[in-house]
Amino acid sequence: MDQNWWKGAVIYQIYPRSYCDSTGNGTGDLAGITSKIDYIASLGVDAIWLSPFQTSPMRDFGYDVADYCDVDPLFGNLNDFDDFIDAAHQRGIKVIIDMVLSHTSDLHPWFVESRKDSTNPKADWYVWQDPKADGTAPNNWLSVFGGSAWQYCSHRGQYFLHSFLTTQADLNLHNPDVQDAVLDACRFWLKRGVDGFRLDAMSHYFHHLSLADNPAAEANFGNTQLDHLEPYSMQFHKYDKAQPEIYDFLKRIRSLMDEFGATMTVGEVGEDDPLRASGRYTAGDDMLHTCYNLSLMMGQDKKLTVNTLREPLEYYESLDIAGWPAWAFCNHDVVRVASRWGQQNNGEENPEFAKMLIALLTCLRGTVFLYQGEELGLPEAQLKFEELQDPWGIYLYPKWQGRDGCRTPMVWNTIPQTNYGFSSVAAKPWLPVSDKHIGKDVATQESNTESVLNFTREFLKFRKTRPALITGDIHFIDSGSETLLIFDRTLDGVTCRCIFNLANAAQSFEGQDFPAFAYRIDDK
């Protein structure tokens, strides 16, 4: 098998709750995904990234794991997972899954035991600390989801650390027994046939043992997709994450992956300089294969210009420690790209803008990730407050509706009684189908040769005929326009010149005319 299959691969992210409901309970499941495997194969993607499906109380929709080695009944069972893996592999599609190793649910048996007292066998499997003399939290660390990162537990008379929800307790990965336990969980899924892992929130794996206060930030780092300053972004996260102990742990992960041959890891990096961190975490054959960051997914009021793409890519390429990059325009945590850039570039509902974005993303140097519905050009859904499920969105509303707007159900057909193909019966889905998605469903687009869906299929097929677009070097060309992006991809002396008009207006370059949102790939 090709050990480097992941290099330059196109990986399709599936959010299981929202892909296809086979049981009619209003929530997507593994059997539903398997029923759509021929559709996924028709896209021409190389792999699937499956968001969490393990046992969980679903306070953060699977990112609060209560059992690493089982399927939550909401999504099916281990047999359903095996069927999905087999169906994907039969079609030549790799599967990577989310592994949330930085924290667990407070209902995980490890935490239930750990909180009993300070002497039990798992007493230090989580991060516990006495209150200050006045009863307040041990330091000023903040949760990403708001408030203090410390929660008092009356069982132990101590605080425990939670970088996210109070029901998501941070594991103490300084403890080698904890490392062994989570690596055993990874081994369980590798033996079951998965081809790799997306390592969620990996920047939070280790904290500084001094528990020193974080200093104030000099700029609004962190959650810059928000259009306002919120407390987490007011700190420079010097002590609560991204500590040097992570390197040895990542080497342990890589050593495990190498036991299973053609596997891969992609780490989710959330740091003040995510690109440099991505380079550090992928430098060398004993670290991660690639890292995934939010550089091209942030700023909901940001206009798409040449520098939006060129600056982060050139910065990454300039790093002397950089490994192989990974890029995405959207995922389950951010505003859909058709809206995020489309609203500023007058292209939110324009299928030509969506097509151009597909071509642009998959021409960048790196492994690329497409999020479900991106191949349809779906815009962000707008929800009412009473429809929100995301605890982060409920906390931040009305400044931001949170992550539910990108998580609404996939639209498969035009039949309202089945929630546009999402449910097998007329169940109420966990989130409503967006009115903005009706008419953009798979069935409608399959019958239209000019649709975003059919464009995606044809472009990914074309991309496979141009090796330079997959693993070639990248070099940017000055166009003289802030909305005309030009770069060359070169491999073994063969160059593809890529030209993208990012504007909703015609432009020209060296005698070539480019209509609004047009692109051109020239063999040189």
Q: What is the mean pLDDT of residues 32-52?
A: 98
Whether the predicted model's global pTM rises above the 0.85 cut: yes
CATH 3.20.20.80 residue ranges in the chain?
10-102+176-463
Band of residue 224 on the pLDDT scale cut at 50, 70, 90: very low
Instruction: Give span(s): CATH 2.60.40.1180, the chain.
Output: 473-523
**What number is the average pLDDT over the span 340-367?**
96
| DSSP conformational letter for 391 | H
Q: Which of 197-211, 414-428, 488-502 has the lowest mean pLDDT?
A: 414-428
What would the pLDDT profile of 454-481 be if each residue is shown by its tens digit?
A: 999 999 999 999 999 999 999 999 999 9
Q: Please, which pLDDT band fits residue 222 given cuts at 50, 70 and 90?
A: very low
Domain 473-523 has CATH 2.60.40.1180: yes
The SS3 assignment for 25 reads coil
Backbone angles phi, psi at 519, to 5 degrees: -140, 165
Please say whether the beta carbons of 154 and 116 come within 8 A.
no
CA atoms within 13 A on the CB side of 362: 32
Q: What is the predicted pLDDT for the residue at 320? A: 84
Q: What is the mean pLDDT of residues 380-403?
A: 94
Residue-wise pLDDT for 168-179, tens only, equals: 999 999 999 999
CATH class of 10-102+176-463: alpha beta
Helices 176-191 and 246-259 cross at an angle (nearest 10°) of 30
Q: Rounded CA gap, 498 and 309, in Å?
A: 13
Decide if pLDDT at 226 tops 70. Answer: no
Residues with active-site annotation: 200, 259
Please list, residue by residue across 146-167, b when 16 or more beta carbons sit within 10 angstroms of its beta carbon and e when fewer do.
eebbbbebeebebbbbbbbbbb
Residue 321: pLDDT over 90: no
Averaged pLDDT, 270-299: 92
